[in-house]
Amino acid sequence: MDSEVLLRFQEAENVEDLRKLYSKLAVPQIRPKLCFLTYLVILPLYICFGGLVFWATDFRSSQKAQLRFDQFCFEEKYAIITLLKEHSDSVYNIFNYSRQKIDAIVNAIDKMEICHRKGVSDFRPKTFDPYNSIIFSYSVLTSTGYGDVHPFTVTGQILTIIYAVFGIPLNIAFTADFGELITKAISAITEYFRLLCNKGDQREGNKAQQLSQEVLFIIVSFVTTVYVNFLTIVVLFVERAQGWTFMDSMHFTFGSVSLIGFGDLVTRREKHYVFIVMPLLFIGETLMALVFGHLQVS
């Protein structure tokens, strides 16, 4: 308790003043719990609301973009086939190819390769169906941004900015309060065991400071162990669900919980992603922030 609080206690004249002062001091202890419970309702509703908005604004535009992408490759393939047919009508022997016909075939193969490379390097646009809309809303809220789903309309782009302005601070507040609850729980457990181990043994000076450092080391080690084990569980789940290798799953999971969002690996959009993977990534994001926070303190 700091000097300001002690001074206020000394200035309190009666029991009623002390009761009011105690109520004010007790509010910060209750606030994180109430905020965390509120986030459990607000965050899912906010994500679903954003998904509904983006679904309404960009569903048709994303469908048209997907059709344009497919139409491009179809037209290229049709032109290649037509070109080969025109030059194959007069061909009777493979050894009688003229230089012009050989060049035409080479050009056709080059165009086919360009089309194939474009299809591989540029992700085929995804439509804003309900699940993709929710996942896009989640990626904006957490600032992950895989890049495979993005708005196509000006309205969608403006709403994305507005949604992020309110959503990102909400996610930061959730991570801070959730992390505070976890830290308090770990500190309470550690303090309980410390008192058990230190019962009857009064330590002072350097011994007390050494004990405090030991407690901090225990907290850092515990949080790090929980984070590594939790990350491994998510990696194994993603590996099995997506059919990826362990390293690919680790690459995707770490990029998600660290809010990097590389975008080179993107999961298929099954229903379990919305209800299982997204909450797991939320928890992983909080645990990672806790690990870094405790490492800085230590």
pLDDT digits (tens, 9 = 90+) for 51-106: 899 899 988 888 888 888 777 766 666 676 676 666 665 554 554 556 666 667 66
Helix, strand, coil: what percent of the chain each, to 5? Answer: 80, 0, 20
In CATH, the number for domain 198-298 is 1.10.287.70
What is the average per-residue pLDDT within 112-131?
66
Half-sphere exposure of 61 (CA within 13 A, CB side): 14
Q: How far apart are CA 244 and CA 212, in angstroms?
A: 44
pLDDT digits (tens, 9 = 90+) for 140-179: 888 887 777 888 889 999 999 999 999 988 888 888 777 7
- Give the pLDDT confidence score for residue 212 in this predicted structure: 61
Stretch 270-286: mean pLDDT, rounded? 74
Report how far residue 275's alpha carbon sits from residue 207's, in angstroms, rounded to the nearest whole number: 49
Q: Which of 257, 225, 224 is nearest to 238 (CA)?
A: 257
Instruction: Of 61, 68, 78, 69, give the one whose Cα is nearest residue 118.
Output: 69
Full-model pTM: 0.65
Tokens of 76: 């290229």
Q: Quick check: helix, strand or coil at residue 57?
A: helix
Cβ(124)–Cβ(66) below 8 Å: yes
pLDDT band at 109 (very low <50, low <70, confident <90, very high): low
Distance CA 234, CA 247 (A): 12
- The DSSP secondary-structure symbol of 95 reads G
Integer Cα distance of 188 and 79 in angstroms = 72
Gyration radius of the chain over CA positions: 30
Measure the CA–CA gap between 56 and 60, rounded to whole angstroms: 8
The answer, yes or no, to whether residue 194 has pLDDT greater than 80, is no
pLDDT at 121: 47
Per-chain mean pLDDT for the chain: 72
Nearest-CA neighbor of 231 among 183, 295, 171, 291?
291
User: Which of 88-92, 104-108, 180-184, 263-267 bottoms out in mean pLDDT, i.e. has the lowest?
Assistant: 88-92
- Note the pLDDT of residue 7: 46
Length of the chain: 298
pLDDT of residue 293: 65
How far apart are alpha carbons 95 and 254 in whole angstroms? Answer: 57
Dist. CA 267–CA 144, nearest whole Å = 14
Per-residue confidence (pLDDT) for residue 160, from 0 to 100: 92
Q: b/e string for 94-119 if b means 16 or more Cβ within 10 A?
A: eeeeeeebeebeeebeeebeebeeee
Nearest 5°: the CA angle 207, 210, 212 is: 110
Percent of the chain predicted with pLDDT > 70 = 58
Domain range annotation of the chain: 198-298
CA–CA gap between residue 107 and residue 118 (Å, rounded) = 16
